[in-house]
Homo-oligomer: A and B are copies of this chain.
Amino acid sequence: MNTNGLVGVYGLGRFGLFWSGMLAKRFPVIAASRTRKESLPATVTYGSFDDLFEADTIFLCVAISVLPNVLDRMAPHLSKRHTVIDTCSVKLYPVEQMLKRLPESCSLVATHPMFGPDSARERADLLPIITWPVRCSDETYSAWVDHFRSMRLRIIQKSPDDHDREAAYTQGVTHYVGRLLAQLELRPSEMATLGYQRLLQVMEQTCNDPVQLFQDLQRYNPYTREMRRRLAEARRTTEAMLPDENGSA
């Protein structure tokens, strides 16, 4: 069965809604989620879980932590004509889970769109997306790389291991610092320096994402633990740069 380029999206959280809207500019999109959404992008059709498999390609936009359960529910519906593409913010773990839980017959592509609704609005350059052909024909992979290019995304091909290693010190650090600053209840200030304004932006943007994303980034990327250990060490080193507090000049 050929479905004329129908694309499925499972998971309609903040990112899933945004991504289905982006896809719908180029493809007929059918979306499904655990709980029905009140409002969808106008061009996206809402369907049942079973309806999803009418699409040849199904994007997964669910929280990393629920992925195994979702994959197990999908597995019986998948066949040779299907391509499953995850969009998780870590890569080793979802790739391992897809390989383990989905039938060998279907194709697998891993992606990490490095943006969300906030940064997509603000960012002037092409939005970056990490891609990796996990298990698929060159044709299938190239076709999606071309689709992403035509969606004005910048393709960065990177292995899941390279991705996670680098993401621990880019995305992992950013979300960690954002959450840290939120605890301090930082507020806009008329005496804000440019640097302070940037910290506020980081805080607001990362805290706009669900706390689940923060937790999953730290938990399912095997390199973030080491990043956090180094950050704790950095705090001690930074404290040690300060002369005796009680001295006076």
Contacts and interface: CB of A to CB of B under 8 A. Distances in A.
A149 interface: no
Given A241-B215, A245-B225, A122 B194 contact: yes
Contact of A235 (B180, B225, B237): B180
A6 B163 CA distance: 59
A169 B194 contact: no
A137 B23 CA distance: 66
Interface of A: 64-68, 114-115, 119, 122-123, 128, 130, 156, 158, 163, 166-167, 169-171, 173-181, 183-184, 186, 189-196, 198-199, 201-202, 205-206, 211, 214-215, 218-220, 225, 227-228, 230-235, 237-239, 241-243, 245, 247, 249
26 contacts: A64-B249, A65-B249, A114-B191, A114-B192, A119-B193, A119-B194, A123-B194, A128-B191, A128-B192, A156-B191, A169-B184, A169-B186, A170-B191, A170-B193, A173-B181, A174-B193, A174-B199, A177-B177, A178-B195, A180-B231, A198-B198, A215-B242, A215-B243, A218-B242, A220-B249, A232-B235
